[in-house]
Amino acid sequence: MVKEISIDTLVVSSNNDDQHNSSVPPLYQTTTFKQKSVTDMGQYDYTRSGNPTRTQLEGQLAKIMKAQRAFAVTSGMGCLDVITRLLKPGDEVIAGDDLYGGTHRLLTLLNEKGAVNLKHIDTTDTEVVKSTLSENTKMIFLESPTNPLIKIVDLPEISKYIRKNYPNCLIVFDNTMMSPLLLSPLQYVDIQYESATKYLNGHHDIMAGAIAVNDDKLGNDIYFIINSTGCGLAPFDSWLLLRGLKTLSIRFERQQQNAEKLAEWLESIGFKVRYPGLKSHPQHELHKSFNKGFGAVLSFETGSILKSEKIVEGTQIFGVTVSFGCVNSLISMPCRMSHAAIDPEIRKERNLPEDIIRLCLGIENIDDLIEDLKDALILSGIAKLVDGKLVKQQVAKL
Ligand SMILES: *Cc1c(COP(=O)(O)O)cnc(C)c1O
């Protein structure tokens, strides 16, 4: 038996059927393809329906995502739009209450219009998920780890329960935080999608989304929607994503290493740090049981909104930027930035600390990153150097 080829190798393999044997897949920057005759259509006719550069990318994504079929669309949210169009009006759907903000926004919009009947629950509580499911549930949306709270969904257990008791409920999983490098969710779910804007591309220079399935009918339905709505990824963006993908393993391994070191360092100073790789994370073992790593996003609390603002603004190497998955390290205050649109009352209900700082690690040298954060901590007054050692100060809650 041929040993399964590792994702590290798959991402750089670039076989293509170019007539000149180009080493890198060519870019077909064209909207139309000439037909041999009025009746002989050939494989491609119009780029909305199909383009060789996109096909090349989708083949590559299918391999990496361990899927029969994969699709490249214009963004992560584009994936969700396509997937929700598989539903019928009024279908019951279940979604986590700590999902990505844009996911929450689109599902809430569909719910308000009566397009779906949405139940928001804590999907990190498996018993709650089990008791909410019914014969009427057509789709469940899961995401793990959530961010910035970094809570873990028991994907294997929920999947086993749904497949046994509610086989008609489609399980949809947003794998943006782990990427195919750390998790192959199709063994547990029907539809996997991710924002390729993040780790898959890795350079914050294109928006893209990837959907993967292992079922012919689902694949055909999804292709029909993408072709009908015109959200397939453009040729140039497909070409750039093919290039970005090649370094997924090497980038993400370094990013993860940096995150692990930074999380340990922050914890050693006395901060409450949320990172699934820390033994102190309440779901450390659960996360480890089905993922190959811990990712590169973590968050920590300072106890003071003002101090958090000073820390975020005091860094030099970290960019004050939303999003993650980029080769550059990023720092943000979710309640002021990515999650600012969520009603403060709801933020409180969901136990989202207003002072929480999110760090998304890039590939820089870890000593430089720690030095940068150290300076920002001192500048904010939350920590002080005592005999060359960084000591956390008590702060008044503001
Ligand atoms: C960014 C993100 C999305 C949305 O992807 P876009 O490419 O920005 O549309 C969806 N889910 C998660 C978890 C994300 O981080």
Q: Which atom of ligand 1 is found nearest the CA of 177?
A: 13
- Average pLDDT value for residue range 234-258: 98
Residue 151 pLDDT:
95
Q: 148 CA distance to ligand 1 centroid (A)?
A: 13
- Give nearest CA residue, ligand 1 atom 4: 76
**pLDDT > 60? residue 220:** yes
* Protein residue closest via CA to atom 6 of ligand 1: 76
pLDDT for 397: 60
The pick from 98, 99, 100 for probing ligand 1's pocket by mutation, whose C-beta has the most ligand atoms within 8 angstroms, reads 100
pLDDT at 396 exceeding the cut of 80: no
Contact 141, 96 (CB under 8 A): yes
Mean pLDDT, the chain, whole residue set: 95
Q: What are phi and psi of 359, to 5 degrees?
A: -120, 130
pLDDT in tens, 344-368: 888 888 888 999 999 999 999 999 9
Please list the active-site residues. Answer: 48, 100, 174, 198
Task: Name the pTM for this structure.
Answer: 0.96
Give the separation between CA 329 and CA 255, rounded to whole angstroms: 9
Confidence of residue 1 (pLDDT cuts 50, 70, 90): low
User: Residue 201 belongs to what H/E stretch?
Assistant: none
The span from the CA of 268 to the CA of 270, in Å, is 5
pLDDT tens digits, residue range 12-42? 987 888 889 999 999 999 999 999 898 888 8
Binned at pLDDT 50, 70 and 90, residue 385 comes out as very high
Dump pLDDT digits (tens) for 32-86. 999 989 888 889 999 999 999 999 999 999 999 999 999 999 999 999 999 999 9
Choose which residue among 195, 199, 338 to substitute to test ligand 1 binding: the one with the highest number of ligand atoms within 8 A of its C-beta. Answer: 195
Q: Which residues of 237-270 are buried (b: 16+ CB within 10 A; e: fewer)?
A: bbbbbbbbbbbbbebbebbbebbbebbebbbebe
Q: What is the pLDDT of residues 105-158, one digit of tens each?
A: 999 999 999 999 999 999 999 999 999 999 999 999 999 999 889 999 999 999
In angstroms, what is the span from residue 292 Cα to ligand 1's centroid? 21
Higher per-residue pLDDT: 99 or 205? 205
The two structure tokens encoding residue 206? 């294109």
Q: Which amino acid is at 156?
A: P
The Cα 113–Cα 271 span in angstroms is 43
What's the 33 CA to ligand 1 centre distance in angstroms? 33
Residue having the nearest C-alpha atom to atom 2 of ligand 1: 195
Omega before 185 cis (within 30°)? no
End-to-end CA distance of the chain: give it in Å, rounded.
Answer: 63
pLDDT tens across 160-206, in order? 999 999 999 999 999 999 999 999 999 999 999 999 999 999 999 99
User: In the sheet where 297-301 sits, what is the strand order?
Assistant: 272-274, 297-301, 357-360, 330-332, 319-320
